Amino acid sequence: MTLAFTTSPGDTVALRTPGCVDYVAAFDAMRSFTDARSPRAPDEIWLLEHPPVFTMGLKGRGGARKHIRDIPLVYTDRGGDITYHGPGQWVAYVLVDLQRRGWGAKRLVQSLEQAIIELLASHRIRSERRAGAPGVYVAGAKIASLGLRVRRGCSYHGIAFNVDMDLAPFTYIDPCGYPGQRVTQLVDLDVRCGLADAGRDLLEHLTRALGYTGSHSGTGDLPPPSP
């Protein structure tokens, strides 16, 4: 099931919350959706978790390593370097027709960061951006990582928000390519709202920061990849 609301084409978003999804399956679905979407297709946000996986952006293109300490490593086409995804972390994939709304990638990045900053502020947590290192930081520790791809004027990939997860795999890598980069999460900042509530809050702040009207949450499968 897909939940959607409409005011005008630029204010239409479909929200999908399919649960825990294999990273490669989600990656394939994002690319297929972007390649197949029409100029009138509503934007979509997919909020989900992944089983433990490292993903490498274009900075590591051409690498041959397949695992890090028995955790799969997937090479992807987003910007940036290496990061980790796992249960207890919400990943929001934003499939936005940037050309239709007259946005550039920079504005989308800033809007995604702003959603996290405002969510944290609602819990009285001060956070910030960092020049040249997209994402959101609390006292220097990264709580949200961000990577995007724009193709045919449309975005895919998105932002990952640490809620209540095992952070140990981040110590196996240089997060986002920065040696010694500390990582934090909502539960370690004494916010114990639960994963489901954090997801609802994230969708609400994302839809607002991206200029949509209202927010819905529900369950729904991802669209199947094109044959």
The domains of the chain are located at: 3-209
Neighbours of 99 (CB within 10 A): 13
- Measured CA to CA, the distance from residue 207 to residue 40 in angstroms comes to 19
Residues 64-119: pLDDT tens digits?
789 999 999 999 999 999 999 999 999 999 999 999 999 999 999 999 999 999 99
Superfamily designation of domain 3-209: Bira Bifunctional Protein; Domain 2 (3.30.930.10)
pLDDT of residue 220: 74
Question: Is 154 known to be catalytic?
Answer: no
Q: Over range 187-207, report the average pLDDT.
A: 94
Task: Name which of 13, 83, 81, 78 is nearest 53 in CA terms.
Answer: 83
- Measured CA to CA, the distance from residue 45 to residue 213 in angstroms comes to 14
pLDDT of residue 217: 52
